[in-house]
A and B are shown apart, each in its own frame.
Chain A
Amino acid sequence: MTKEVNTKKASMSGNDYAEEPVPRDKRVVWVNVTLVWFGAAMVAQLYQGGVTLGTGMGSLSNALAAILCGAAFLALFVCLNGYIGVTTGCNSALSGRYAYGSVGVAIPGFHIADIGWFVVMNAIFANILSQIIPTVDMRVWCILISMLFITNNYIGFHQMVILNKIAFPILLVVGLLGIVKVSMLPGGMAAVFDARYPMTYTMAQGIVMVIGTWISGCSRAADYMRFAKDGKSSFLASVLGFFFGFCLCIICGAIWGAATGTTVIGDTLKALGLVFLGGLMFFVQTWTTAEHSSYVTSTALPTSIQVVTKKKVPRRSIVAAIGLLGVCVTGLNIQNYYVPFISFLGFLIPVIGAIVIADFYIMARTRYHWTGHKNYYRLQVNCEDVMHHKFNWAVIPSLCAGLLLGWKTTIGVPSITAFIGTIVIYCICCILLCAFGLQRKEQRLSEALQKEGGSGA
């Protein structure tokens, strides 16, 4: 019954299964997924976030409580998304086909946010380099970094593992060395915990800041977890890779900030005597994050391009295009225009992810699923039984309501409110559309396909 629409079985060398599920025999051991996810969770801005929290929440204890609460929510979000990835074997955009439909998948696939992030990360690091070596023009660094930081991604996922294997010990050593240096300051760690700072942020604001640092990245967990062998591996990789990678960066930043009393990470590194090692750490860290940004874009965009233009674009072409775009615009101070854009995406991405989560964990287990299928997620993503379901109309009101909730709400944490609100609205919309007969229409399509398959046989 399930005809393969995409019969391409040729080697996907370097394409990293952007348009098909990762075969079982191509899955990797959980350690490799953990290391890659660990690298993705290491973001240079987390140190800055940690420093801000460490000096802005009254005391280090408050900052650590906010960090742990925020990180727990993010880890849960990663686990939920990661399990979808390991079950379907698809990246985030492709697994969206189950919830959004074969045409509707263009919505989650159009993930251009990380292109901007790629450019900004490179621009920030080029700026740091030009401060260290002022004789060289910052724009030279921008061009070189834009080319260098797609190197592993252009070659493929497995090269990224090598980079993250290098990044992991550097991060660990520098992070812990910073803690050791802090403990050697007069009064030691006890003095750091006893130190009092102005209460610039409340606990809720602190948690919002922690969640805001990486919620967009968490919604892309399936891009990595689809390479895990099973749900247990995905869970281990999510918790160990993300929770500890993320916490290590932000907690180190908080302790460094609380110990030195400085709010700028560069000054903090100078105060701790870690300029060289810190610079090396930021180099590797920015590289892994930039690779992550271009990677998730390169796995998501081909799906949207295929829906819109009916043409297949290799993943590597997208990576090369991102690099070329970076070469052209990184030196133009584009980061100044990025903040309003990324703020909007901070609401958009969790909402898009919430629909997939609601569809997978709730609606697909009920008789109100928009396609009328049972065990819909067991079908191969490229089979005709999935492809003929074009568009799930329940996502439109859910997306609009979720965005409004995230943008306008003043209750709780906007991202979490938008996330939970979208799940509730999506479930209600699915039931309503089922009552209005849209599910029946989809079921008739499935029945017609079954008959066609039967007569064909």
Chain B
Amino acid sequence: MSVLNWVILIMGLLLISVLWLKISPAERKKETKIVAGAFIALGIIVYFIQSTFL
């Protein structure tokens, strides 16, 4: 179950990032990439902390 949670989390974050890049205007693609990357990294860190320590 733990593995399933990680798979859904990472797949979900990636899919949303792809969606963001798809609908983002051309002049803001780079910025969107950075923000999406921040969300992926933070999402993984937050879930690791929440599932391990809380």
- Complex: A348 Cα to B51 Cα, angstroms: 37
Find chain B residues with CB under 8 A from A14 CB. Answer: 25, 28
Q: Which of A54-62, A141-149, A382-390, A411-419 contacts B (4 or more CB under 8 A)?
A: A141-149
Residue of B nearest to A323 (CB): B39
- Complex: A323 Cα to B38 Cα, angstroms: 11
* Contacts A143-B47, A147-B16; A155 near B24 (Cβ below 8 A): yes
**C-beta contact mask, A99-141 vs B, less than 8 Å → 1, else 0?**
0000000000000000000000000000000000001110110
Find chain A residues with CB under 8 A from B8 CB. Answer: 136, 140, 144
Instruction: Count A-side interface residues using an 8 Å CB cutoff.
Output: 23
CB <8 Å contact, B51 and A144: no
Contact count band on B: 20 to 34
CB <8 Å contact, A135 and B9: no
* Contacts A13-B25, A13-B27, A14-B25; A143 near B46 (Cβ below 8 A): yes
Residue of A nearest to B25 (CB): A13
Residue of B nearest to A149 (CB): B16
Residue of A nearest to B34 (CB): A320
CB <8 Å contact, A140 and B5: yes
CB <8 Å contact, B20 and A151: yes
CB <8 Å contact, A327 and B5: no
Find chain B residues with CB under 8 A from A2 CB. Answer: none
CB <8 Å contact, B25 and A148: no
CB <8 Å contact, A328 and B9: no
* Contacts A140-B12, A144-B13, A327-B46; A154 near B39 (Cβ below 8 A): no
CB <8 Å contact, A140 and B46: no
Q: A140-B12, A143-B13, A144-B16 are in contact. List 13 more A-B contacts (CB 8 A).
A: A135-B1, A135-B4, A136-B4, A140-B47, A147-B43, A148-B16, A154-B32, A154-B35, A155-B23, A155-B24, A324-B39, A327-B43, A331-B50
**17 sample A-B contacts, Cβ–Cβ < 8 Å, listed by A number:** A135-B1, A136-B4, A139-B47, A139-B50, A143-B12, A144-B16, A148-B16, A151-B16, A154-B32, A155-B20, A316-B31, A323-B39, A324-B42, A327-B39, A327-B43, A328-B42, A332-B54
